[in-house]
Amino acid sequence: MKRCQQFIQYGWLLALASLFIACKEQPQTFAVHAPIFPSNTERVTYTLRRIEGDVEVVRLFESVQTINSAGTTSAPSAEVLLKTWNSPSASSFPLTFTRSTGYGSNRLVTYRFEVVGSKNNYQHRITFATRPYPVPNQAAPVYVVGDVNKIMNLVFIPDTDMASDLTTFRNAVKTDIDEVFHEEDWIRRFRSSYNFFINPATGHAHDYDTETRDHELPSNWDNLSFAQGKVILHSRSIRDFNEPDKNLFSAEHYVKGTLLHESGHCFYRLADEYGGGVHWQEAELPNNWSTLIACRNDAAGRGMTTADAHQMGTSGWYKLCPASCVMESSGAAMHPYEKPCRDRILYALLKRSSQ
Ligand SMILES: [Zn+2]
C-alpha cells in the first residue's frame, strides 16, 4: 500500500525524468568562460562545448554592469553581439571567442550564447564578476545562471593550504563547473539549476580518519547561509567528508569524483553506498534502506528489481544502486549517479525550485 502511494506520488516525477531522457536528441551544449574569475585586465575566453545534436547557428552576446562596495549594481549595458557562427560543423566545436581587452574593475559581466538547433532554440545566460570583487566579505559570483532562492548555490572556499596559489584554486573551480557539473550524465541536464561562487576568505579541511570531524570555517561564514553547498578545496591528500548540519564538505582540488560524491551528500542528502560509510534512510526516495524487505519493496518503483537489493558490506544497511554509482565509487575517476540516486537528485532540485 505504501509502495502504491509512493508510486502515485512520484509517478509524475519519474515521467518527467523520462522526458529529459527523450530530449537527448536535441543539441546539448555547455558554456563556460576562462579565467572563471578574471582580474580587471585579464582577457576572457568564452567556450561553447557540444556533446551531441545538430547546431545551425550560434551567437555570443555580452552585457556589462558596474557594482560598488555596497553591492549596488548599475543597469546593464545594451547587449552587444560579439560573434556569430553559421552552420558550425561538428569538428569546429568547441567554439571559442577571446575578448581583446579586460573588463575593468567593479564589473559584473553577463554573456549569452544563443543556440539555434534544427528543432529548438535555447540560451545559455551566465553572469560573473571581475576581481577584485568590491563587496567586502561576500562570496563573488563566478558562474550564476538563475535565482539564488530557487536553485542550488555552491560556494568554493580556498583551503589555507592553497592560499598562496589561488590561480590553481580558481582553475580548479572552472574545471569542477565544466567537467563535473556539466559532465556527469544526469546533473548536466540541469545546468540551469546550479550557481557557483568563490569565497574571499579561506577555510581549512580536516581528515575524517585522523583529525577532528569539523572543518575550520572561513571568517565570513555567517554570510554564506544563502548557499546549499560550501566546499573547501584543498591540496593535501586526506579523507574528505560532509558536515550535513553546515552543508559543508571538502575535496582535493584535483579529484573530480570526490567533489561529485560529497556534493551528493550535501545537495541531495544521498547516503554512502559502501559498507563502513555513513548510512541513513531518507523518508522520500532514499538510496539507503534499513531493511532488506523495505529495499526490495521499493525496487520496482525505482526502476530496479528485487534482485538488485543487497547489503552494503556487513553494515546492516541495504541499497539498489550498482557498484558503479558515485555514491559507492568516488575518487579520481568520475563515476555516474545511478538510477535510484537520480530520482533523489531530481526530487531535491524540484523541491528547491518550488520553495
Ligand atoms: Zn547510487
Residue 105 has pLDDT above 80, yes or no: yes
Using the predicted structure, report yes or no on whether residue 6 has a pLDDT greater than 50.
no
More confident residue, 169 or 5: 169
Residues 168-177 have a mean pLDDT of 97
**What are 186-233's pLDDT values in tens digits?**
999 999 999 999 999 999 999 999 999 999 999 999 999 999 999 999
**What is the Å distance from ligand 1's center to 253 Cα?**
23
**pLDDT of the residue at 7:** 41
Report CA(329)–ligand 1 centroid distance (Å): 9
Dist. CA 297 → ligand 1 center (Å): 17
What are the pLDDT digits (tens) for 334-346? 899 999 999 999 9
- Cα–ligand 1 centroid distance for 179 (angstroms): 20
Residue 100 pLDDT exceeds 60: yes
pLDDT for the residue 15:
52
pLDDT band at 355 (very low <50, low <70, confident <90, very high): confident
pLDDT at residue number 343: 96
- Give the pLDDT confidence score for residue 2 in this predicted structure: 37
- Tell me what pLDDT residue 65 has: 98
Calculate what percentage of the chain has a pLDDT beyond 90.
86
Q: Flag whether pLDDT at 24 surpasses 60.
A: no
Residues 31, 122: Cα–Cα separation, whole Å: 12
> What integer is the mean pLDDT of 140-156?
97
Q: In the predicted model, what is the mean pLDDT of residues 323-334?
A: 89
pLDDT beyond 50 at 172: yes
Q: What is the pLDDT of residue 246?
A: 95
User: Between the CA of residue 18 and those of 156, 162, 255, 345, what are the distances in Å?
Assistant: 32, 42, 30, 14
Q: Ligand 1 centroid vs 340 CA: distance in angstroms?
A: 6
Per-residue model confidence as pLDDT tens digits over 249-285: 999 999 999 999 999 999 999 999 999 899 999 999 9
Question: Is pLDDT of 5 > 70?
Answer: no
The whole-number pLDDT of residue 21 equals: 46
Tell how far the Cα of 257 is from the centroid of ligand 1, in angstroms.
Answer: 13
Q: Ligand 1 centre and the CA of 325: distance in Å?
A: 5
SS3 assignment for the chain: CHHHHHHHHHHHHHHHHHHHHHHHHCCEEEEEEECCCCECCCCCEEEEEEEECCEEEEEEEEEEEEECCCCCECCCCCCEEEEEEECCCHHHCCEEEECCCCCCCCEEEEEEEEEEECCCEEEEEEEEECECCCCCCCCEEEEECCCCCCCEEEEEEEEHHHCCCHHHHHHHHHHHHHHHHCCCCCHHHHHHHEEEEECCCCEECCCCCCCCCCCECCCCHHHHCCCCEEEEEECCCCCCCEECCCCEEEEECCCHHHHHHHHHHHHHCCCCCCCCCCCCCCCCCCCCECCHHHHHHHHHHHCCCHHHCEECCCCCCEECCCCCCCCCCCCCCCCCCCHHHHHHHHHHHHHHHCC
Ligand 1 centroid to Cα of residue 125, in Å, is 31
Distance from residue 178's CA to the centre of ligand 1 (Å) = 22
CA of 281 to the centre of ligand 1 (A): 13
Query: Ligand 1 centre from 184 Cα, in Å?
Result: 13
Q: What is the pLDDT of residue 328?
A: 95
Q: State yes or no: pLDDT of 166 exceeds 80.
A: yes
> 216 alpha carbon to ligand 1 midpoint, in Å?
29
d(Cα 91, Cα 157) in Å, to the nearest integer? Answer: 37
Q: How far is the CA of 337 from the centre of ligand 1 (A)?
A: 6
Domains of the chain with CATH codes:
29-134 (2.60.40), 137-269 (3.40.390.10), 274-341 (no CATH)
The answer, yes or no, to whether residue 296 has pLDDT greater than 60, is yes
pLDDT band at 10 (very low <50, low <70, confident <90, very high): low
**Mean pLDDT across the chain:** 92
pLDDT, one tens digit per residue, over 70-90 is 999 999 999 999 999 999 998
For ligand 1, the distance from its centroid to the CA atom of residue 341, given in whole angstroms, is 4
Which pLDDT band, with edges at 50, 70 and 90, does 3 fall under? very low
Provide the pLDDT for residue 4: 38
Q: What percent of the chain has pLDDT over 70?
A: 92
**Whether pLDDT at 26 is above 80:** no
